[in-house]
Chains A and B, each alone.
Chain A
Amino acid sequence: MLEADNRRLVSQLATGRAQTARDKLSRYYRRSFICAILLPAFSPMLVSALGFPLWIAALYALFGVVMGVINLWFSNFISRCDYTSVPTVEALEKAVDIARYQRYIRSFGILSGGALIVTMFVHALDKSEYHTVIAFVIGLCAGIVIGVFKYRRMSSLVKQMQDELKSLVEE
């Protein structure tokens, strides 16, 4: 039965249809890079259609570029990381690194994105554009809930991995 599985998989591998979890994670950040790099394209619309000042549009574009660069770097970092053929302790160290960077990127994205949203929110409030304000509030609340949940899960995972690694190395 296993031989048949191997042969089926080899045909998938030969055509590039099989992916590891690492490939999927790397592709996720590659997709995030594409999404982030598209943000600057929408910044002129912030000025022309929504009446935001130029400096807010510039910050919005900068946020997209910075997040894009970070996501691209991290996607390449994951692709280059070989954690399978090295000793288990080394593999755990690499897994901790990846999880830690994920947490940093998420924190940076939430903080800088949050600051940008608050800035836009305050501006919309000043101009009494209540429909925009309501949309911001809903988006902000959803973002905070998801962000806090993800951050806590990631933090506990990194802590657990670090503790285990420490116990392995120290004995």
Chain B
Amino acid sequence: MKQSAVDKEKEFLAVTDKYKEVIAKVCYLYSSAWASFDDLYQEVLINLWQGLGSYRGEAKISTWIYRTAINTCITWHRRNARYGTRDTDRLDDMIFEPAETGDNASVMEDYRELYRLISMLGPVDKALITLWLDEKSYEDIQHITGLSQTNVAVRLHRAKEKLTKLAAVNR
């Protein structure tokens, strides 16, 4: 039975509302001077909207959301073929809690720094680290990226090494 436009809107809003942090996080990491967060976020949402009709539930909805968000951002990056600095003002409000004091403020600052370092990685490494930080299993990462589990493990190990080096350089 064909889904009505109202049903599709409701389903779309429910899905995007549930996974808004995931979408925002991916867009945040891939945003640059040539791809603002707003542009990427809108692009991901349009692709989700267009793909919602053909989503048949073969993969988990979170896998489909991650795939769409990561592929959209990587393709956008490829089209622009360069990276620059990010406009993070709006993002910080969405992903991180409002400014707090004491230990919480320090933890938030650490998160910001971690995200800043991750955004300096290559497009695929960035995706792998994001999925790993979200506690996705190697099997899930395999389904999202299409890489073998061995390959995922090897690349994740290297990405973590790169992050450690970046953190040392930026300290």
Contact A18 B70 (CB under 8 A): no
Which residues 45-68 in B have Cβ within 8 Å of A in the complex? 45-47, 49-51, 54-55, 64, 67-68
Given known pairs A6-B16, A6-B45, A88-B127, the reply for A171 and B143 (CB within 8 Å) is no
* B74 touches A (CB below 8 Å): yes
- Interface size for chain B: under 10, 10 to 19, 20 to 34, or 35 or more residues? 35 or more
* B43 touches A (CB below 8 Å): yes
Task: Give the chain A neighbours of B34 by CB distance below 8 A.
Answer: none
* A residues neighboring B (CB under 8 Å): 1-3, 5-7, 9-10, 13-14, 18-21, 82-92, 95, 99, 153, 157, 160-161, 164, 168, 171
Describe B's contact surface by its main secondary structure.
Answer: helix
Contact B145 A89 (CB under 8 A): yes
Q: How distant is the Cα of A91 from the Cα of B124 in the complex, in angstroms?
A: 12
Q: How distant is the Cα of A157 from the Cα of B5 in the complex, in angstroms?
A: 39
Residue among A1, A6, A19, A160 with the highest chain B CB neighbour number at 10 A: A6
Q: How distant is the Cα of A91 from the Cα of B79 in the complex, in angstroms?
A: 13
- Residue-wise interface mask of B (77-121) relative to A, using a CB-CB cutoff of 8 A (1 in contact, 0 not): 011010000000010011000000000000000000000000000
Q: Can you name the residue of chain B whose Cβ is closest to the Cβ of A160?
A: B81
Q: How far is the CB of A64 from chain B (nearest CB, A)?
A: 28
- Residue-wise interface mask of B (128-157) relative to A, using a CB-CB cutoff of 8 A (1 in contact, 0 not): 000000000000000111110001001100
List, sorted by A's number, 9 A–B pairs whose CB atoms are closer than 8 Å.
Answer: A2-B41, A14-B5, A14-B9, A20-B46, A20-B72, A84-B50, A88-B70, A88-B74, A90-B146
- Contact partner of A21 among B79, B90, B144, CB < 8 A? B79
Q: How distant is the Cα of A99 from the Cα of B49 in the complex, in angstroms?
A: 25
* B42 touches A (CB below 8 Å): yes
Q: Can you name the residue of chain A whose Cβ is closest to the Cβ of B45?
A: A9
* B71 touches A (CB below 8 Å): yes
Contact A84 B51 (CB under 8 A): yes
Residue among B55, B78, B151 with the highest chain A CB neighbour number at 10 A: B78
Contact A87 B145 (CB under 8 A): yes
Contact A18 B46 (CB under 8 A): yes
Contact B155 A21 (CB under 8 A): no
- Contact partner of B49 among A2, A13, A88, CB < 8 A? A13
